[in-house]
Amino acid sequence: MDGDGVKRVRSTNQPGEVDRISHLPDCLIFKVLLSLPTKEVVKTSALSTRWNHIWKHVPGLNLEYDDFSEHDSFVSFVDSFLSFNRDTCLHKFKVTYDYSEADEPETGLVRRWLDTVSRMKVKTLDVTDDSAESWELEMTPALYTCGSLVSLKLVGLTLPSPDLVSLPSLKDINLILVEFTDEWALEKFISQCPSLKNLCIERSFGDDIPMLRVRSQSLLTFIHIVDSDESFDDERILEIDAPMLEYLKLSDGRTASFKLENTASLVGVHINTAFNLTSTRRFCPNDAQKRNMIQNFLLMISRVDNMVIASCTLEVIYEYSRYEQLPVFHNLSSLRVNLDGYVWEMLPVFLESCPNLTTLVLGSIQNHVKVGITVSPRRPRVLPSLRYVEIERPFKGDALEMQLVGYLLVNSQSLKKLTLRLDDSLKKERSFIFNELLLMPRLSSTCEVVVLSDDPSYHQ
């Protein structure tokens, strides 16, 4: 380990080897080195005389506190890097810091770094506080006016409420378990980023934002993640007004009400929410507000081309469909359903609202929120356009699994291929499963059932 605290590996060139990399111009070498962690970049100083100090001039830092044996060495390295490059326009500043590791923790240390990189016109900023969600580190207000910033990722920090936001170049925001000094801080921040394209928010339980409004005239992709916890029964609200939005992902176990506006550009959605309903907080047909919210939500996503949807969402849709008519998803051609086990009885109601669906993938999901529905017997309708079905979950030939395959085969008039994979643990049961599948009636005379297995002799 050298004096700067970073481990190095010494090497020598072998006779006859041609060092082509060292003959590249600095701009190309810097571009390559910017993609590597700094601890790997420092090791390049052993390659040749030219590389002894070239790593110091790379306009980016990608460092973690545990790259160093001592916390003081980590702090000293970052300070030295920023001092050496103080007149450089910084391309990247990525630091993982543990607030609790310091002998005398000072939030001012990281704030000083953030102030410095802001003055250095940083383009990509990625800061993680790894100290067990303490949220002691608060982002410096100077970053709200960093005109060069293009990409921002914060993990475990606190965002202050901005008095002024001037971020004309900011395109990507990723906030993971970030706290806010007041409930309006995030909304103000988002609404004043005129070039914002991609927004990802993974919220903490304690962010104290009862209503979040996402308003952006430029946003293309929005991901909103909130873990589920039945102990929380608050009525959180999420409103989205983004007329350019093309992709929306909601993996949200807590938000009770969603309001979508101006979704004409929406092409794809990934929906995993039960609208804060559970087995103890069940759908109530007399709750007109909840019914209207679900109706508007489904209507706003009804024009998408592709969709991923979870069992819990399908359960709510099924309950809703018992009292209200579902909108027709005319454009939906590709659907992935993540099922909890093979509880699939609520699936036909939704499939029958997708008249132009051609591809269906049935996957699986863990940590499923159970809404608690009772499926009423009904006669399924023909699926006119479905051509390709893939069942990803390992197939064991259980009764519910066979019923699902039977439903798809007997009701899909255009089906060309249904693919499933046998569970690896099956040995003796394989022949029985094949015979059962062969005997199943099929509405489509051209349908092929493909059974995959690790054993190549078992293929149909």
239-289 confidence digits (pLDDT tens): 999 999 999 999 988 888 999 999 999 999 999 999 988 766 778 888 899
Each residue of 83-106: pLDDT tens digit?
988 888 899 999 998 876 665 556
Contact 73, 98 (CB under 8 A): no
pLDDT grade for 118, boundaries at 50, 70 and 90? very high
Among 3-7, 157-161, 348-352, 449-453, which range has the highest average pLDDT? 348-352
Rounded to an integer, the average pLDDT of 167-182 is 94
Averaged confidence pLDDT in the chain? 85
Burial bucket for residue 154 (CB in 10 Å: 0-12, 13-18, 19+): buried
pLDDT score recorded for residue 18: 56
pLDDT score recorded for residue 304: 98
Q: Please check the confidence at residue 40 and state whether its pLDDT lies above 70.
A: yes
Cβ within 8 Å of residue 79, ≥6 positions away:
none
pLDDT score recorded for residue 51: 67
Domain ranges of the chain: 91-452
pLDDT grade for 181, boundaries at 50, 70 and 90? confident
- Alpha-carbon span 76 to 68, nearest angstrom: 11
Each residue of 206-242: pLDDT tens digit?
777 889 999 999 999 999 998 765 555 567 899 999 9
Q: Please check the confidence at residue 455 and state whether its pLDDT lies above 90.
A: no
- Alpha-carbon span 371 to 378, nearest angstrom: 21
